[in-house]
Structure formats: structure tokens, C-alpha cells
Structure 1
Amino acid sequence: MDSVLRAAAMYVALMILFKIAGRRSLAELTTFDFVLLMIIGEATQQALLGDDFSLTNSIVVIVTLIAVDVGLSLLKRRSSFVSRLIDGEPTVLVEHGKILYERLRHARLIEADLMEAARSSQGIETVEEIKFAILERNGKISVIPKEH
């Protein structure tokens, strides 16, 4: 039972920590982000298994993590409040060619990140060409160009 409680607590703790860390898609991870995730994974493994490295304990921990994940996904389907709490909402970063700097700062992004997404997805060169730029729930930035 100790493994189940540790796994559930670690799941919740990591969910909260990654929520605080902000949205970022896997495609946008830097080398340092990747190394940091590997270190977190190792620390998490030690916290989850404790001194019991048996196959049975590992299976119990894995089943618990999957059960918590499935349970939360079912809860998110039933409650829009829980869905917003866990996954957040899309955030408009640019509106009609104007950068909303407070929202950009809150998302811990810089103008260069925004323009990189605009160039790579739409070939846009200036902010004035953007109708909307939206930080999606999955961490990607969607760019909608202005009509010419």
C-alpha cells in the first residue's frame, strides 16, 4: 500500500510542478530541458520505488500511475472546471498585430519565441502580419495570419 500512496503522491506532485513550470511542447525542449527531465525521471524512480526494487513493486507503481492518469482523464471529461485546472486554457498572445506583453510574460515567453513560431508555421516576418497568436494547452503556439 505504501507504493500506491507514494506513486499517487508523486503523480500529483509532478503534475503541479510541471503546471508551475509552464507549457512547452516536446518539440521545443532544449538540450538542457531534456537532461533535466532525465534527472527528474531518475529522482522520481528512486522516490517511487524506495528500497523495494522488486518486480511486483514496480508493477504496482506503474499500475497506480496509469490508474491515476486514467482517472484524471475521465474526471476532466466530466468537468470543464477540472479540465481547465489541470490543462489550462489557450492564451491569446497577439491580437490584431499587437503583442499582449503581460500574457507573454505570464507564459514566460519572449517575443523571439513568438516570432519563431510565426516564421516556422506561417512564414510571417513581422508581428503586424499576425491576426492572432495563441499559446495552446499543449504548449504549441498557433499563429493565424491577417488576411491580405
Structure 2
Amino acid sequence: MDMVIRALAIYLILMVVFKIAGRRTLLQMTSFDLILLLIISEATQQALLGNDFSVTGAMLTIVTLIVVDMLFGLIKKHLPGADDFLDNTPVILVESGYLFQEKMKKVDISCDDILQTARVDHGITQLAEIKFAILERNGHISIVPESK
């Protein structure tokens, strides 16, 4: 039972930490982010398993994490508003070339982030060429170009 409680606690704390960190952390990974991810995964592994390195303990931990994830999926499906709370909602950052500065500040996305995505995905170099830039739930910025 100890492993189930550990797995649940670690799952919840990581969910809270990444919720606080925001979607920007998912947008692009720097070398520092990779190092941090490796450290987090090692600390998480130690916290989940403790001194129990048995196959049974690992299987129990994995099953617990998958069941918790499935439960959150059911909660998001059946409780109105839970999906928005747990996974956020898409945020429109640019509309017809106009930047929504307050929204960008709130989600910690810069104009450079938007233009970089526009250049890479569509070859767009100016805000005026962007009809919509939307920060998606997964942290990716979707660009809808202006019609030509």
C-alpha cells in the first residue's frame, strides 16, 4: 500500500509543479531543461520505489500511475470544467496581426516565440501575416496564416 500512496503523491505533486511552471516549459527544451528533466526523473524514481527494487514493486508503481492517469481522464470527461482546470484551455495570442500582451504575459510567451513558430511552420516573418496564433493545451503554438 505504501507504494500506491507514493505513486499517487508523486503523480499529484508533478502535476501541480508542471501546472505552476506553465505550458511554456513544454514549448521548447533547452539543455538546462533536459538536465532538469533527468534530475526530476531520477528523484521521482527514488521517491516512487524507495528501497524496494523488486519487479513486483515496479509493476505496482506503474499500474498505480496508469490507473491514476485513467481516473483523471474520466474526471476530465465527466466533470464540466475539470478538463480546462487540469489541461488549461487554448489561448489566442495573436488575432489579425494584433498581439494580446496581457494574455502573452500571463502564459509567459514572447513575440519572438510566436514569430519563431510562424517562421518554422509557415515561413511567416511578420505579425501582419498571422491571422491567429494560439497557444494549445500541450504548449505548442498553432499559427493560422492570413489568407492571400
- Alignment TM-score, normalising by the size of structure 1: 0.93
Q: Does 1:69 align with 2:65?
A: no
Q: Against the structure 1 CA distance between its residues 100 and 92, is the aligned structure 2 distance closer, same or farther, given a 3 Å change threshold?
A: same
List alignment gaps of at least 5 residues for structure 1. none
1:100-125 deviations in Å (ceiling 9; x for gaps): 11111111121111100111112111
State the match for 1:97 in structure 2.
Answer: 97
State the match for 1:60 in structure 2.
Answer: 60
SS of 2:76's partner is helix
List alignment gaps of at least 5 residues for structure 2. none
State the match for 2:132 in structure 1.
Answer: 132
Q: Does 1:109 align with 2:117?
A: no
State the match for 2:20 in structure 1.
Answer: 20
In the TM superposition, what is the alpha-carbon distance from 1:24 to its structure 2 partner? 4.3
In the TM superposition, what is the alpha-carbon distance from 1:25 to its structure 2 partner? 7.4
Q: Supply the distance in 1 between the matched residues of 2:80 and 2:111 (Cα, whole angstroms).
A: 31
1:32-53 deviations in Å (ceiling 9; x for gaps): 2111111100000111111222
Number of aligned positions between the proteins: 148
Runs (4+) of structure 1 moved beyond 4 Å? 24-27
Q: Supply the distance in 2 between the matched residues of 1:72 and 1:55 (Cα, whole angstroms).
A: 26
Q: Against the structure 1 CA distance between its residues 14 and 87, is the aligned structure 2 distance closer, same or farther, given a 3 Å change threshold?
A: same
Q: Supply the distance in 1 between the matched residues of 2:26 and 2:106 (Cα, whole angstroms).
A: 20
1:89-144 deviations in Å (ceiling 9; x for gaps): 00010112111111111111211111001111121111111111000001110111
Q: Supply the distance in 2 between the matched residues of 1:22 and 1:42 (Cα, whole angstroms).
A: 22
State the match for 1:79 in structure 2.
Answer: 79
Q: Supply the distance in 2 between the matched residues of 1:50 and 1:22 (Cα, whole angstroms).
A: 29
